[in-house]
Amino acid sequence: MHRHFNGLKTAALFGAIWAILLGLGAVIGSGRFIWLFALFGVGMTVYGYWNSDKIAIKAMHAYPVSEAQAPEMYRIVRELSTKAGEPMPRLFVSPTEAPNAFATGRNPSHSAVCCTEGILSLLNERELRGVLGHELMHVYNRDILTSSVAAAVAGVITSVAQMLMWFGMFGGFGGGGGDDNRPNPLAMLAMALLAPVAATVIQMAISRTREYDADEDGAKLTGDPLALASALRKLESGTARAPLAPQPAVVNASHMMIANPFRAKDVSRLFSTHPPMDERIARLEAMASGHQPY
């Protein structure tokens, strides 16, 4: 479906983040815990993936809406999901003026799409169609699984690094068989300091590649790249006027949203969950003019 390399980039980034996790296992106890760390990562991934819809919906205080309550959303989502040949997700609305939208759920048959009250009042129907096409492609491309894996593994890496800081330097991970079996303290300190930063950077890079894919695939689904481009322009100014408070639950769900919901100042591009809006808009405009996104 794609001629660009976002899928390859995502696979390479996943390889890097798992290498960091297994590297921690290799440093601690001279590699004896490497499979334990891998199993722990898988377990956390399954938990986050299975409960992703509940976590995100609860974080945004969203409520389910009927077709009578949100006829425009229902009409657009029904049309696009039928066109894609996929199940129609449940629809929710979040009672906040911050304009945004997100999709969640463990698979297309157990998915949900949520719009905030702010985005429903900000966009016209054509722009809202572009946004909902983007969100549906997150579901149909299984991006919720992708983001769940990345978030879970990054969380495990951070937790293990914190254990290293507290216990590793005091012999807490000693092998019990003499100094030869004890982990290298310099290697442990380096991993404790650098691994969480590296894991976070990689997690954010994965999120950005999935946004590019959802932009392109959503524009193909709607057949209207400029509608999404116009919506993104409005969202950029709208989220600047009404940013969400960076509460922990909202921060954990922010990577699912179509636009960064927080203030953009003082945030490095390396640690951003979303690509720059001007780059996303430029790609969509290139699609509309018949050029392949780079």
With a cut of 50, say whether residue 3 has pLDDT above it. Answer: no
C-alpha span between 227 and 229 (Å, rounded): 5
Give the DSSP per-residue string, 46-86: HHHHHTHHHHHHHHTT-EE--TTT-HHHHHHHHHHHHHHT-
pTM of this prediction? Answer: 0.76
Token code pair at residue 17: 């983040």
How many helices, marked H, and strands, marked E, lie in the chain?
Answer: 11, 4
Domain ranges (residues) in the chain: 6-172+185-288
Q: Using CA atoms of 70, 75, 81, 87 in order, give the dihedral in degrees to the nearest 10.
A: 50
Could you read off the pLDDT of 82-120 as tens digits, one per residue? 999 999 999 999 999 999 999 988 788 889 999 999 999
CB distance 208 to 274 below 8 Å: yes
67 is catalytic: no
Find the catalytic residue in 79, 117, 135, 279. 135
Contact present, 3 and 203 (Cβ < 8 Å): no
Euclidean distance between CA atoms 280 and 215, whole angstroms: 8
- The tens digit of pLDDT for each residue in 209-239 reads 889 999 999 999 999 999 999 999 999 999 9
Could you tell me which residue, 262 or 160, shows the higher pLDDT? 262
pLDDT at 288 over 70: yes
